[in-house]
Copies of this chain bind each other. A is one copy, B any other.
Amino acid sequence: MEKARLDPMVETPALLLDRQRMDRNIARMRAHLSTLGVQMRPHVKTNKCLEVARRLFDDGCGPITVSTLREARFFFEHGFTDILYGVAIAPNKFAQAAELVRMGASLTLVLDSMETTRQLAAYATDQRQKFDVLLEIDCDGHRSGLAPDSPLIVEIAHALRLGGIEVKGVMTHAGNSYNSKSIAQIEAYACQERDAVLLAAKTLRNAGFAAPVVSVGSTPTALFAKDLTGVTEVRAGVFVFFDLVMAGLGVCQLSDIALSVLTTVIGHQPEKGWTIVDAGWMALSRDRGTASQAVDQGYGVVCDVHGAPLPDMIVVAANQEHGIVAARDGCAGAAAFPVGTQLRIFPNHACATAAQHGGYHVTGDQVPSAYWPRFGGW
């Protein structure tokens, strides 16, 4: 008889991390970037976990990207010194950043406006504080950043120099690659991302700034870029775990997804073909990233306890601590999962689902063997 539970038992809902899949995903990214001859500066916002971050590097402490200064401080205190804070710095965070620099962090900041530039330059002058700064470039209209041909690029570099800050280079993020409809489109986004920062870097160099750093990154473009000549580093985060959004893009297979939520069947609505489980949006997150993809995976793809996807079974709705599992085509399959059955759910978005949990129950050969804590907050 098929074993219907993990053993030793983990209380549900719980976040499981398949270590073998994670290691394979990391190896894939490293091999690809090594072929392209470019450094990896992984984004640790996805994992927020020391044990995961250490596995990204041979020496355990390579260059990283963070999304909060709390991440910067945590990883710095645990031996990571080369840190890019990938969100535009605001004046209320200058003092926090300066403190990290004084403590010895090689912390790089990002900005994209003359407003911030003037305030940072004034702060740097006033406090006699050096900062490393990259200019954020907007390669696809997705979010922040200066246009690659903006005259502000050189103006900001000059204004920074007046404050004693020598601009270190440029960075961008191809956020729109998440909306790609084909691998060919991802490849095109990768070229667009590269070309945007190469243009901005060239403009800076023509104006007399060395701008040694040219930084790009998103998991789709990082994995499908064919030529990153001129790029010095690649940031990406979700590749470590992968998720249903990445699978929907064709960037990975379901069998590459290293993260899942372990859940227990707590009831049924037999007339509707519903199985009720104890993983609601608190355990899965409210992320519906696959809603805009060709296949909408609801709140996640349902697997058996060993992680094998159950054909067409998804979480169709979620309340705080209730998930409703049903067949995508509406055909009842509820009887197959008696109360107490353990199931696993692949998440839409690894960053969002992981953030709902205090840590990872690490599985190697299906048995949780370790617990790796995460942190959160700001």
Query: Which residues on A are within 8 Å of B, measured CB to CB?
Result: 5, 9, 11-14, 45, 67-68, 87-93, 96, 111-113, 115-116, 119, 138, 141, 143-144, 175, 264-269, 272, 276, 278, 281-283, 285-288, 317, 319-322, 324, 338-340, 342, 349, 351-352, 355-358, 376-378
Contact = CB atoms under 8 A, between A and B. Distances in A.
A175 B340 contact: no
Contact of A358 (B91, B352, B376): B376
Contacts of A143: 276, 317, 319, 322, 324
A320 B351 contact: yes
Given A87-B322, A89-B266, A144-B276, A357 B377 contact: yes
Contacts of A91: 339-340
A178 to B, nearest CB: 10
Given A269-B144, A286-B288, A378-B11, A90 B324 contact: no
Contacts of A14: 378
Given A119-B339, A267-B88, A340-B119, A355 B352 contact: no
A317 to B, nearest CB: 8
15 contacts: A11-B96, A12-B90, A88-B276, A90-B266, A92-B264, A113-B268, A115-B338, A141-B272, A143-B324, A282-B376, A283-B378, A285-B286, A286-B286, A288-B288, A358-B377
A67 B321 contact: yes
A135 B120 CA distance: 62
Given A322-B143, A351-B320, A138 B12 contact: no
A89 B12 CA distance: 12
Contacts of A286: 285-288, 349, 352
B115 A339 contact: yes
A101 B338 CA distance: 26
B267 A340 contact: no
A285 B112 CA distance: 26
Contacts of A93: 11
Nearest to A86: B321
A87 B263 CA distance: 14
A144 B283 CA distance: 18
A288 B265 CA distance: 26
A98 to B, nearest CB: 14
Contacts of A267: 88, 111-113, 116, 144
A261 to B, nearest CB: 11
A321 B68 contact: yes
B281 A352 contact: yes
A268 B138 CA distance: 12
Nearest to A96: B11
A282 to B, nearest CB: 6
Given A88-B276, A113-B339, A144-B269, 18 more contacts: A14-B378, A45-B321, A68-B321, A87-B322, A90-B339, A113-B267, A115-B339, A116-B266, A119-B339, A143-B322, A144-B267, A144-B322, A175-B319, A281-B352, A283-B378, A285-B286, A286-B288, A355-B356
A223 to B, nearest CB: 19
